[in-house]
Structures are given as C-alpha cells and as structure tokens.
Amino acid sequence: MNRQVALVIMDGVGISNNKDGNAFVNANTPNLDKLMNNSIPIHAHGTYVGLPSDDDMGNSEVGHNAMGCGQIYSQGAKLVNDAIETGELFNHSTWKEAVNYCKNNKLHFIGLLSDGGVHSHINHLLKMIEQAKKDGIKDVCVHILLDGRDVPKTSALEYVEILENKLKELNDDTFYGRIVSGGGRMNITMDRYEADWGMVERGWHTHVLGEGRTFNSAKEANETDRKENPDIIDQYLNPFVINNTNGTIEDGDSVIFFNFRGDRAIEISRAFTEENFNKFDRVRVPKVYYAGMLQYDSEIKIPEHFLTAPPNITNTLTEQLIKYNINEYAVSETQKFGHVTYFWNGNKIDKFSDTLETYERVDSDIIPFDQAPAMKAYEITDKFIDAIKTNKYQFLRCNFPNGDMVGHTGNYDATVKSMEAVDENIGRIMQACDETNTILLVIADHGNAETMVDEKGNVVTSHTTNPVPFILYGNNIDNITFKQGDFGLANLASTITDLLGVPSNPIWKESMINIKED
C-alpha cells in the first residue's frame, strides 16, 4: 500500500464487560473510545500463545513472541511440563551434571515460588526436589522469591506451606531439604533489562552470602514484615535469611535457577557465571555448577547449562521485512524495551540487520510505578512521533508499559491515571499519523488493567485470560475491513505485511484483514 504502518502496544490492557475495578473502561480515554469503534477482540492467552491450556493467562514474553513471529510455539510452562512428564528433564546431561557436581555438598534452587505460570511453577520445583532425593542428593536449599504479582497479592504463605509440607514429607535420615532465604520478587534478584542492578545485588547477598535480617522461618519473616509494614504486598517483601540452616552457597555446590522465563533470570545468571562481572561487588564468588531451567538468552548463551531447550523461533516478521528492504523502528522504556526488540525478534539479542533496524530506549524511573503512573509515556511518544515524521521507516512499533506495570501494583486509582496518560499519548500519535498518512494499529499483549478486583472485591495484580483489542486507524482506510475468524496475537504478522504490501511467510497465521483493491 506504500504507506507507513505504526503499531502501538498497550501492555496489559484487556477487554472486560465488568466495570468494577476496570481501569481501562473507567478511565477518561476519549481517543481510545473513538478507536475502539473500529476494532475486534482477539485472544492473547493460553494455547493462542503456546501455553499449556486456555486457563493460562497470557504474558508479555509469549505475547511479543507471537506477535513478532506470526506462529505459535510451545512456551515456558508447557515446555517444562512436557520435559518433566516424559522424564527428559531428569535424563538431560545438565541435570545429571548438576547432581554429580554437588553429591557431597548442597543443591540450591532459586526462583519464584508460585503457580502463576508466567515465570515459574511451584510444581516444577517440587518435582525436582523429589528427583534430587531419588538421585542421592542429601542436602537441598531453597531460596524463595515471593510473587504477589501473577497470583493474589498476599498469597505467599500458601505456597510456603505447600513447599514446607513437601520438604517435611521428604526429610529423613538421608535427606535434608529446607527454605534458607527469600524476599519479594520486585525487591531482590529478579531485575530485568538492567533497570536496577541493586535488586540483583541484594539477592546475591541474601542467597549466596547469607547476609540479611534473620528469622526462624519463612512464615515468621512474612508475618513480621506485614506487621511492620501493613500495606506491603508479596512482591515487595524484604529479604530474609532463615536461622541455623547452613544455606549459604559455597564451592562445590550446584545452583538451579528454576524460572523458565528469561527476562528476569538473565542478570542473576550473569552474576553467577561471568568471570569479569562488574555490575556490583560480589564479595565472594563460589565455584558452583550453575544451570537455568531454560537458556535465557540463546544468542549470548546465558547460562551455558540449562535443563530444557527453549523454543527455537525462526521465520520472524523482522526477517521477512528485511528480505524486502523494509526499515523498522522500535522504542519503549527500559521495562519493556526488550519486548519490542529481543522477544519481538524471537528471543534474539542482536539485530538481524544493523542498517534496517533502529532501536531507541527511554530509561525507566527506579520507583514504584504507581508513584508516577504516566511512567515514560510522554518521552516514548516524543521519540515515536519524531520517527514517524522522518518518513524513513515503513514499520514502527512502540510499547506503553503502563497498564501492566502500574496494574501489577494493585493501585486502581493509579492504574486509571496510567490509562489516561496512555490515551493522551495515543491521541498525539493519531495526529502524527493523520499528518503523515500513516496507518495506525493498536493492540495489547495480554490483559491486566481491566480486572483489578475479583468478584469478592479482592485486589487483583495478575494478568488475565481476557481478550485484547486490535484496532485499525488511518486516513482513507475504507477499503480495509476485518475478517471474521478466531484470531490471536500470532495473526498480527501477516496483517502487517498485508498493510505494507509485501508477501507474508506462508507458515504464519493468516491476516486479520481484507484489503479491497481500488
């Protein structure tokens, strides 16, 4: 069609008919109200993005994978579920090497303790602890990261109880398993995109060095933190160490990071494995066998050892556009920059083309997101509009993290404000598209902001299984209509190539539009 196509991804904004706790519907969003008149709902969860079942909520990683490659790959939890069920995981050389390395020492598990299924699943941890005992491991230490983000905000002790019951069942004269340290996932260890290395440093001191406030149990740590900080939710709980557990990480130990999602696993993996690491003073670097549940970055091989092979995503949209000399532009702030680059391009850290791909990143603030709900939407928009007006790029994309990142805080009023900031900036982008005859697409990668309370009135901080909007806007688009069909995020790639007038890859999911020739 010889027109620019601009894609706006509203991270974490789904569609729900329930107005209670719906920060999307209840916000003042005149621009989105107008845009929704030319939209269709599409799926962004479950099997539509490669997750085990349609009861599984979507997430940003698999959502951007699906949008960027036009296909559905088995992802995260499903890969690990299959590997455990078939026994492949425990027959893998990495598992055997990890077990043999620490036969006379300790096997450590570090990861997110919940059944949210976005970054990890508690069932995977329980199965590995069981197998470790069968394989002759005598000493198991578990370092728990508490969720409250992909699961109810104060549900940590439910998962602690499940884990402690399993350890109690397994513990005997030949085996000693216990929780040795922990803290909230947004306080320690699970930083991403190098937004706050201080989180990883706190995790290192907690898990490796055993430094921090001590308690007699994870339950005591949790209850004390809540008593001292009544408004605290699980993801922000302070680091803790359990007394008299001998849980520090030492030479000759093995460490398994049991998260399967990569973005929040890369930095702690680097701290364990990089010889010339310089992001913080590690004080002491134990000689351990370190493995990830998956290889979190296959391009730069972080980590070297992993238990389950990640999906090998090929034939992406970017690869197809490069064949036709299409210039691309991508921008977001730190929190979602990797999603419009690394995940969009099929988990590839490097560009496919240095000349045809341009990336810009806006640095995120290091504060709780509900304290500044606009986040960096205005700065992202400034850069996005400047890029649109250059007429240099045929395809441009940006991500507004607000609905997801502010929604995860559980602060409904702040999330409403975040949606109003997104709406204002989408209005600015609409005007730029009008001025440049650019076609604008608006989509979301999964739900979140539209469901911030449940049917009982409890605060919800997690993603949802709701559909998301797919919006089409621009001058003179009467010849473009939506097809009827059961569409998901993977149908976006063919839709974009149709609009750009280049062939789609025949293995992709079909386009969501019809274009009537003049």
Task: Kindly tell me the sign of the dihedral angle through the C-alpha atoms of 228, 234, 240, 244.
Answer: positive
Which helix (H) or strand (E) segment is 358 a member of? strand 357-362
Q: The tokens 């990142």 sit on which residue?
A: 405
Inter-residue contact 207 to 110 (CB < 8 Å): yes
- CB of 222 closer than 8 Å to CB of 156: yes
User: What's the rounded Cα separation, in Å, for the pair 266 and 192?
Assistant: 7
Whole-number Å distance between alpha carbons of 185 and 264: 9
The two three-digit tokens of residue 242, written as one number: 């359990």
Q: Are strands 139-146 and 107-113 parallel, antiparallel or unpaired?
A: parallel
Q: How far apart are CA 296 and CA 267, in angstroms?
A: 10
DSSP state of 249: -
Cα–Cα distance, 258 to 128 (Å, whole number)? 9
List the Cα angle 339/414/374 in 5-degree steps: 50
Closest CA to 73 of 312, 318, 351, 328: 312
Return the axis-axis angle of helices 76-86 and 122-134, rounded to nearest 10°: 30
> Which structure tokens are listed for 184?
């909230």
- C-beta of residue 47 within 8 angstroms of C-beta of residue 53: yes
- The residue type found at 477 is I
Measured distance between the N- and C-terminal CA atoms of the chain, rounded to whole angstroms = 11
Q: What is the DSSP string of 310-350?
A: PP---S-HHHHHHHTT--EEEEEEHHHHTIIIIITTTS-SS
Contact 187, 265 (CB under 8 A): no
Say how far apart CA 29 and CA 34 lie, in whole Å.
Answer: 9
Catalytic residue among 16, 39, 60, 332: 60
For the sheet containing 306-308, what is the strand order? 214-215, 240-242, 176-184, 139-146, 107-113, 254-257, 289-294, 306-308
Q: How long, in residues, is the chain?
A: 518
Q: Is 418 a catalytic residue?
A: no
322 CB-near residues (< 8 Å, 6+ apart)? 352, 353, 356, 357
Biggest alpha carbon distance in the chain?
80
Annotated catalytic sites, by residue?
Answer: 60
